[in-house]
Chains A and B, each alone.
Chain A
């Protein structure tokens, strides 16, 4: 919808610009033409003035300066001088059919119009009236009479004219633009749907029919690809879920009988110890299978999330307390630093607590000599996010190993197999963060400790 409004705006803008430009251009051209037409050669009034000035009267004789004579010749014009009595006193190239004397009425008539179809122009001379005539049908004479009222209203009329023009152009461009947008709206909507990965179908009609068909084709193609991708992911995840299910029953037997033997008094202590090892390894296998299943469900976005708003600080305290209550070794010290009690996230409590537990367990596993584990929560109002941060002062890990830690074990992207544990812990944290529209950030270096930050979108408690 936004794009159609934008298209309409642009279209109207362009139309208005074009109309304004056309009007301006036309006025300019017209002005130029009129200006040029009025000044083609010598203007008649200039010629007649020139002739009047150069016609000298001395010792009862008229003499025309040669420059004026050439001018007249160039214009193929004739000239005469009429005295106050209406008699032609002097002439130059006067056509024969013209009379030699004129009444006042004649003079008034030809001054305004034509003298026997000759366009004539007059100028005042000491000895009377100088008349210059041009060849027939060479010059058109016009006369304007404008009322003073009209002239005084001219500026406002021009403004009104311009306004009417603008209004008309706006209206026309709106109508045409609306029609255009109307015809492309289904297309823009379809393309918008495509970008949002939704199914779309546009009725192919009008001038954009083939475009609509292309969009439809793209949509079906995308849907088909999505479907096959999803079914493949589902197949993979189901395969892992199936395997972990099938491992559980035999593992029950292993665990069951091993732990039974561990408590049996009929076998030697050494054998009981061995049974204990079988039980421990069985339990390890159990947690591996469970974790593998969870990570695969998260990886293929098939893990259902039981989201509800909860306070991060409560979760952190609860997990830290669990570690302490379950006999955390004295070599490890857990410190809590909560910056804002009100920070809430909308999340799956079991998964988030799993993520935080994994991070703490990770620090414990990799620092057998003990370390200080700091747990912090912070907020970042700029992007409405909050973070759970774990910092330890343990032995850390080389910087270039960091990206490797988030890859799933056994995948081609993971260069080195994990050295401690099954290597699913951190990838799981990463997947859990992603499932909550968050991200896991790691930073560390050898002997510089390890820092992990889970950034999550937060909701503020009211």
Chain B
């Protein structure tokens, strides 16, 4: 985490007030190597000079637009970039992301949102890829291990099929939130809900037989009529 705060940030915006505000927030959050540029030319100069680790770019700059600036920056270094623009039209957003920007935030923005997205990019790009541990969680007395695909009850170990695993994974990622039948079918079969209604119902019943104490009156995997399903998991303190 600390080495993320040591990364070099380049802010390119022609509004000095915005630059100063961003500078203030980021310094308060622990970033201390922040560089400013107020036009494209200077941004390219800074890129050569300090070799920033990430760039926050405005789209409308006095001597060009942020889209062509990103293309030029990418020729120097493969740094990640985040657009911070007052232009919120879909085309601009798509153009920016299409050019390979890592995110596109429309002004006005909340500083916290910017900070979260920025650190997410930095972590993704610069942190060593961690082996994501497949989740293991408790439902009452049973332990569901999505890594090995098993349900451990008091006396026996029940295996989960591939589809059941995919469904449970989707439900667990969105635990305590409703997941629509469409999203579940998309996750398990890569297709829409239409045509899979019955198959989905059968799979849900089989999952309940494995994870519920009384499958006919489910306690954890609940049906939300007309919408989909919801997996109730008590958050554990780890």
Contacts and interface: CB of A to CB of B under 8 A. Distances in A.
Interface string A292-323: 01000000000010100001011001101100
A314 B192 CA distance: 8
Contacts of A253: 17-18, 21
Given A255-B110, A260-B111, A321-B180, A249 B227 contact: no
With most chain B CB atoms within 10 A of its CB, the pick from A248, A293, A321 is: A321
Contacts of A402: none
Nearest to A325: B177
A336 B108 contact: no
A257 interface: yes
Interface stretch (A207-215, A337-345, A403-411): A337-345
Contacts of B177: 321, 325
B90 interface: yes
Contact of A249 (B88, B107, B183, B193): B107
A335 interface: yes
A318 B107 contact: no
Measured as residues with beta carbon below 8 angstroms from the partner, the interface class of chain A is: 35 or more
A257 B86 contact: no
A261 B106 CA distance: 21
B31 to A, nearest CB: 15
B87 interface: yes
Given A260-B25, A321-B227, A342-B194, A252 B178 contact: no
A256 interface: yes
B25 A254 contact: no
B21 A257 contact: yes
Interface in A91-113: none
A107 B238 CA distance: 149
Interface SS majority for chain B: mixed
Contacts of B24: 260
Interface string B33-54: 0000000000000000000000
A249 B226 contact: no
Interface in B91-126: 91, 106-112
A11 to B, nearest CB: 54
Contacts of B224: 321, 324
Contact of B109 (A252, A257, A313): A252
Contacts of A350: 90
Contact of B110 (A256, A336, A341, A342): A256
Contacts of B227: 317, 320-321, 324, 336
Contacts of B110: 255-256, 259, 279
Measured as residues with beta carbon below 8 angstroms from the partner, the interface class of chain B is: 35 or more
A279 B113 CA distance: 14
A443 B222 CA distance: 36
A256 B226 contact: no
Nearest to A314: B182
Interface string A259-294: 110000000000000000001001000100010010
B226 A248 contact: no
Contacts of A318: 180, 182-183
Given A253-B18, A324-B227, A461-B194, A245 B111 contact: no
A170 interface: no
B175 to A, nearest CB: 11
B226 A337 contact: yes
Contacts of A282: 108
A317 B90 contact: no
Contacts of B226: 317, 320, 335-338
A439 interface: no
Given A255-B110, A321-B180, A336-B227, A304 B15 contact: no
5 contacts: A248-B107, A290-B88, A314-B182, A320-B226, A321-B177
Interface of A: 245-246, 248-249, 251-257, 259-260, 279, 282, 286, 290, 293, 304, 306, 311, 313-314, 317-318, 320-321, 324-325, 335-338, 341-342, 350, 461
Pairs A-B, 4 closest by C-beta atoms: A336-B226, A251-B108, A248-B86, A252-B108
